[in-house]
Amino acid sequence: MTLTGHSLIAGQPVHGGGKTAFGFNPATNEQLDPPYSLITEEQLTTATSAAAQAYPSFSTLDPDTHAGFLEAIAENIEAIGDELIIRAGQETGLPAARLQGERARTTGQLRLFAAVVRQGDFRGVRIDPAIPDRTPLPRADIRQRQIPLGPVAVFGASNFPLAFSTAGGDTASALAAGCPVIFKAHNAHPGTSELVGQAVVKAVNDFGLHPGVFSLVYGPGASIGQALVADPAVKAVGFTGSQSAGIALMRTAAARPEPIPVYAEMSSLNPVFVFPGALKGDVDALAQQYVTAVTGSSGQLCTSPGLLFAPTGEAGDKLAAAVGRAVSACAGQTMLTEGIAGSWNSGAEALGAAAGVDVVGRGTAGPTENAPAPAIFGTNINEFVSNHVLHAEIFGAASLVIRYTTTEELLEAIHRLEGQLTASLQLTAEDYPTAAALIPALEQKVGRIIVNGWPTGVEVGHAMVHGGPFPATSDTRTTSVGTLAINRFLRPVAYQNLPQQLLPVPLQDSNPWHLNRRIDGSVLAADVEVNA
């Protein structure tokens, strides 16, 4: 496929009227062609207006066409072949195996949402049939369904050039809900974004959909990103990135004449709690698993464990020593950008210089300028509870081991934590009573609780929650991974006493889309009639 270096607005390549930007290879800091023209705010309105025009037809698409469209995007992405993996590797420094897995996750998400669209429960059909002879007052016929919010602005993530990018989870769930998408590409991987954007546009064209269903735009986050969120045509935002950028978007969305929801996935330390029973097993293996979770993808995962609570005493000392040995054997991996590597260095220096913090172990720098040596630090729980500096996220291969003595200390530490995506418990059956005391507190702080596993590696399915209280996310009620993510872009509408001819298709008695429905409070299969 040919890279144009331009935005794709309503199906057409558009030369931006702003400045020019390039992708860079973080392994060499080499500039990559082609140059990408950045759009102006005036050009942005073409994309948002087209999305608004596409909404009426796209939001009412029949399930088979709608699902087929999502599946076609997946097929088109796969058809790009090695070109996509090569370009993504050049722009991110990520290895081919990681990117191949991420591509599979991206296409798998699209096909999963296609199945959700065909099955149809997300439409939330509820019917309370009329009871004309009810006393003292008759009951009206009231029907409810979930409708798409409208055009959605999606922002690409730096650390997932495919799975949280152009056709990633936010885009897939918004399109599945029936919402047109204006995608703001991450400037660190513009070519990867365009390749996938072309695949989406091809599916839009092949299915004869309104071209405004999808647009891909390039521009500075401080201007084009903010203008996108402020645009009155946009009705919701999906974002994965830094806490500062997410909060800036939230403020813009809240300050609009019509405020809109921002679903931002931001920062998380993902604490791991090691209990005494877990230290009676293979401590070296446990330490290696922890270090692998910290250093995988150079630690540039939103679920990388930034904290590990380990008991004081001899067993905990053995774990800390094993962690030190394991991380000392690690070499740094190329980080996504020069700026991210610089931020990691600053964060690691600040953590290492904090009072009461020492070095548990440090690896060696990698072969490139942007591959700093992974590091794991140590402190005690009293220092952690009292020093907020130790709660700062370091995006990359760094973590903090915290030594504790009592369950009460752990509860106090959990109380002091900000919202997190995950918490992990390493334990055996003898530790169940202690863990049981912690779980209610953890439920108030995290979106996913894991036993004898590690937080990295987020399964895409029906039960997954990738979310959590602020600042892990901007809305603790949602998830950005899994089929429940579609609910972010829907809202309920009730229809009272509408004749069959005026009812939306999902609410008609004949049930032409064969949906499961909740009738008078009971969930009934698609083949059950309203008045049966």
Which are the catalytic amino acids?
265, 302
HEC profile of 18-47: CCEEEEEECCCCEEEEEEEECCCHHHHHHH
- Going from the C-alpha of 190 to that of each of 56, 155, 158, 185, the distances in angstroms are 30, 12, 11, 6
> Quick one: which H or E segment has residue 119?
helix 96-119
**Alpha-carbon gap, residue 143 to 263, rounded angstroms:** 28
Tell me if residue 62 falls in helix, strand or coil: coil
CA distance 163 to 176: 16
Cis before 471 (ω within 30): yes
Nearest 5°: the CA angle 455, 308, 339 is 70
Cis peptide before 34 (omega within 30 of 0): yes
How many CB atoms within 10 Å of residue 391? 15
Radius of gyration of the chain (CA): 25
Residues 6+ apart with CB under 8 A from 23: 31, 32, 36, 90, 91, 187, 188, 189, 190, 191
Give strand pairing partners of 123. Answer: none
> CB under 8 Å to 213, separation ≥6 — which residues?
51, 54, 58, 175, 180, 181, 204
d(CA 301, CA 422): 12
Contact 252, 182 (CB under 8 A): no
> CA nearest 176: which of 489, 514, 462?
489
Angle CA 483–485–487, to nearest 5: 105
